[in-house]
């Protein structure tokens, strides 16, 4: 998968690309990340990428010409592309959107705004989709672009060391992930649940399933509304003392 990040601060992304799983994905060829400096496409000798807003008002707006040239160049390097403007006004980013992008065969062109944002004509004529990473305002789109690169990359085949590990992540099955423990088996007087030491895979799997649902019920009850359970699963939950207050599918919750 190829990511093209268009930004006036390419150095901003260099450090996170040098660490951990993302570094390994780059080295192994699962992803390519091309950082492009929008300033290189400025038309004037001062490499201006922003200007005052027509009609007056606060702050500066990113000029259309350098952005248009940067997007055109990035597009020309792709067989097929999806141009995303990072924006607090966009579709709210979540694990489903990450999975959708990871499945796509297209190169992702991530356009990072700064200042008061980009000239509206760029959004209207050059952008396939706006994505927001949450209802808060960042100083620029670079962190949001990195969030997308990071979360999409770990879903690509072969990127995570342990196949199937993303499958059990929080949100991947609708709810939260089960709690996890590592050695020592007793820490400051607190033992790990005994079942995890039993070596009985079925019992462990059932305990984890029930614990995950219990966690979801406690921390994110809103997610339960969209989760459906088979009768067998409801029985496992009941056996572990987890009661949802309804039977059948999540949609029937009252
Ligand atoms: C200071 S913000 C501009 C906010 C704009 N004045 C507004 O009120 O909608 C500068 C840039 O940061 C990025 N940005 C800010 N918040 C974001 C968010 N929640 N998700 C994605 N990108 C964001 C966008 O690229 C935006 O153009």
Q: Which residue segments constitute the domains of the chain, with CATH numbers given? A: 2-153 (3.40.1280.10), 186-252 (1.10.1270.20)
pLDDT at 167: 79
pLDDT digits (tens, 9 = 90+) for 181-202: 999 999 999 999 999 999 999 9
Q: Report the C-alpha gap between 146 and 141 in whole angstroms.
A: 9
> Which backbone phi and psi does 239 adopt, to 5 degrees?
-60, -30
Q: What secondary structure does DSSP assign to 211-226, as a single string?
A: HHHHHHHHH-HHHHTT
Q: Is the CB of 10 under 6 A from ligand 1?
A: no
Question: Would you say the C-alpha torsion 122, 40, 141, 31 has a positive or negative sign?
Answer: positive
Give me the sign of the Cα torsion angle 27, 28, 32, 33.
negative
Asked whether 66 lines ligand 1 (CB < 6 A), one says: no
Cα 144 to ligand 1 centroid, rounded to whole Å: 9
Distance 86 CA to ligand 1 centre (A): 7
Which residues are annotated as catalytic? Answer: 88, 116, 154, 169
Structure confidence by residue, pLDDT tens digits, 63-86: 999 999 999 999 999 999 999 999
How far is 195 from 202, CA to CA, in rounded Å?
10
Contacts of 253 (CB under 8 A, 6+ apart): 224, 225, 244, 245, 246
Contacts of 177 (CB under 8 A, 6+ apart): 168, 169, 170, 212, 215
- Supply the pLDDT for residue 36: 98
Atom 17, ligand 1: which residue's CA is nearest? 88
Residue 151, pLDDT > 60, answer: yes
Instruction: Look at residue 252 and tell me whether its pLDDT is greater than 60.
Output: no
Max CA separation in the chain (angstroms): 72
Distance 91 CA to ligand 1 centre (A): 13
Sign, CA dihedral 115-117-122-127, equals positive
Given pLDDT bands bounded at 50, 70 and 90, which one contains residue 161? Answer: confident
pLDDT band at 165 (very low <50, low <70, confident <90, very high): confident
The answer to whether the CB of 60 is under 6 A from ligand 1 is: no
**Rounded distance between C-alpha atoms, residue 185 and residue 29, angstroms:** 39
Closest atom, ligand 1, to C-alpha of 112: 25
Q: Of all protein residues, whose CA lies closest to atom 1 belonging to ligand 1? A: 139
Residue 6 three-state SS? strand
pLDDT band at 254 (very low <50, low <70, confident <90, very high): very low
List, for residues 109-136, the tens digit of each pLDDT value.
999 999 999 999 999 999 999 999 999 9
């Amino acid at each position: 998968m190829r990511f093209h990040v268009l930004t006036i601060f390419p150095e901003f992304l260099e450090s996170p690309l040098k660490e951990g799983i993302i570094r390994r994905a780059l080295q192994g060829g699962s992803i390519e990340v091309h950082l492009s400096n929008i300033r290189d496409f400025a038309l004037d000798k001062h490499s201006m990428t922003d200007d005052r807003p027509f009609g007056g008002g606060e702050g500066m707006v990113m000029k259309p010409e350098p952005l248009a040239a940067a997007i055109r160049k990035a597009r020309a390097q792709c067989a097929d592309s999806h141009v995303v403007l990072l924006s607090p006004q966009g579709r709210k980013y979540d694990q489903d959107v990450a999975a959708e992008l990871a499945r796509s065969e297209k190169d992702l062109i991530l356009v990072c705004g700064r200042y008061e944002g980009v000239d509206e004509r760029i959004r209207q004529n050059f952008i396939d989709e706006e994505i927001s990473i949450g209802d808060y305002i960042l100083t620029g789109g670079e962190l949001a672009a990195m969030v997308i690169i990071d979360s999409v990359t770990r879903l690509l085949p072969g990127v995570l060391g342990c196949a199937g590990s993303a499958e059990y992540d929080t949100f991947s099955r609708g709810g939260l992930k089960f709690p996890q423990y590592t050695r020592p088996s007793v820490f400051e007087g607190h033992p790990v649940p005994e079942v995890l030491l039993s070596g009985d895979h079925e019992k462990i799997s059932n305990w984890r399933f029930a614990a995950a649902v219990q966690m979801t019920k406690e921390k994110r009850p809103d997610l339960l509304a969209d989760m459906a359970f088979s009768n067998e699963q409801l029985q496992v939950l009941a056996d572990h003392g987890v009661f949802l207050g309804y039977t059948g599918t999540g949609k029937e919750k009252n």
